[in-house]
Amino acid sequence: MNIVVLLAIAAGLIALRFLKPNSLAWSSATWVAVYVFLRYGVVPPVPASVLTMFMFIITLSLAVYLTTTEDRLKEVSNAFVSFFTDKKYTIPLVVALIGLPFIVAFRVYQNLTQLPDPPVVGRTIHPPPPATITFKGRQVDLVDEDNPYRELETSDPTAFAEHVSNGRLVYYQNCVKCHGDNMVGDGLFARGFNPIPANFQDPTTIAMLQESYLFWRIAKGAPGLPVESTPWSSAMPAWETFLSEEDIWDVILFMYDFTDQRPRAKEVHE
C-alpha cells in the first residue's frame, strides 16, 4: 500500500467536508477517491480488468445510494438542473460539453494510431529440408545426392571452370536483381521484400548448408515452405520452371566460388 497516496486521499476528503457539499458532489468525490486509491495506492498494481470491475460496482452502488430516498434524488436532479441552467456554471458547462467529446475522440484516435506489434515468433531462416523432392518428374534425394559437378574441381579443373562460368551467367541473368552484384542481398529489388533476400557472403547462409539444401531452395523457392518460415512469405521464386537441373547445380558452384566459401560437408553414414 502506498501511504503517500492514502494520506493525500484522506486530506482531500477532509478538506471537502468543510465545503459542506451536496450528495452528488460527495458521491463523485468518493468515486474519484476509490479510483485513485485502486489505481495508484495499491502495490503491486491492480490489473486493469479488476480495476474496471471494481469501478463498475462502485458506480452502481453510488447510483443506488443516490436514488434510494426522495430527498437525495431531488438533491441530485436539482444539482444537474442548476449545472445546466444556472448562469454561474456557464464556463464549466462549456468546458464539459467540449472537453468530454474531445477526450473520447482523442482516446479513439490514440487506439487507432497504435501500430500493430509484429508477431512474437521469429522466422526460421533455414527450415529442415524434405528428404526427397521431385524435380521435373525425377526424384532427387536431398540426403544422399551431391552436386554432380563438384568432383570436377579436382578431377577436371577445366570442365569445372566451364560449369562455374555457366553458373555466373545464370546468376547474373536471374538472381542479381534480388541477391545483388556482390551477393550480399542488396539487389535493385531487395528493399521491397520482407524477409530481404539472403546474403550469401554472410557465414550463416550458404557456408552452413549442403549443396543439396541449396538445390532444394533454388528449385522450390518460397512456395510450400513450412509454417516456421512464415508469417512473412519470402519472395524467393521457384526456379524449377525456368532453369535446368544443370543450371541450378552450376549456379550453386558459382555462389561458393564467388564468395570464397565451402559447402557444408555431407554427413558420413556408417
For 128, the grid coordinates are 529442415
108-138 burial code (b ≥16 CB/10 A, e <16)? eeeeeeeeeeeeeeeeeeeeebeeebebeee
Q: Is 253 in the site for ligand HEC (CB under 6 A)?
A: no
Place of cell 491492480: 46
246 vs 135: CA distance, rounded Å:
12
Q: Is 214 in the site for ligand HEC (CB under 6 A)?
A: yes
Choose which of 37, 160, 239, 249 interacts with ligand HEC (CB under 6 A). 239
Least distance between ligand HEC and beta carbon 120 (Å): 20
Q: Which is nearer to ligand HEC, 29 or 218 (CB)?
A: 218
Choose which of 35, 65, 83, 193 interacts with ligand HEC (CB under 6 A). 193
Total binding residues for ligand HEC by CB under 6 A? 23
23 vs 251: CA distance, rounded Å:
84
Q: Is 220 in the site for ligand HEC (CB under 6 A)?
A: no
Applying CB under 6 A, the span of 26-34, 84-92, 141-149, 188-196 interacting with ligand HEC comes to 188-196
Q: Is 237 in the site for ligand HEC (CB under 6 A)?
A: yes
Q: Is 238 in the site for ligand HEC (CB under 6 A)?
A: no
Cα end-to-end distance, the chain, whole Å? 68
Are the beta carbons of 264 and 206 closer than 8 angstroms? no
The binding track of 111-130 with respect to ligand HEC, each residue x by CB under 6 A or -, is ---------------x----
Q: Is 235 in the site for ligand HEC (CB under 6 A)?
A: yes
Which residues 6+ apart lie within 8 Å of 228 measured at CB? 123, 124, 127
Least distance between ligand HEC and beta carbon 148 (Å): 17
Place of cell 546474403: 199
Q: Give me the half-sphere count of Cα atoms (radius 13 Å) on the Cβ side of residue 185.
A: 16
- Residue 74 CA to its chain's centroid (Å): 54
Site for ligand HEC in 136-155 (CB under 6 A): none
Residues that bind ligand HEC (CB under 6 A): 126, 170, 174-175, 177-179, 189, 193, 195, 197-198, 205, 214, 217-218, 222, 234-237, 239, 251
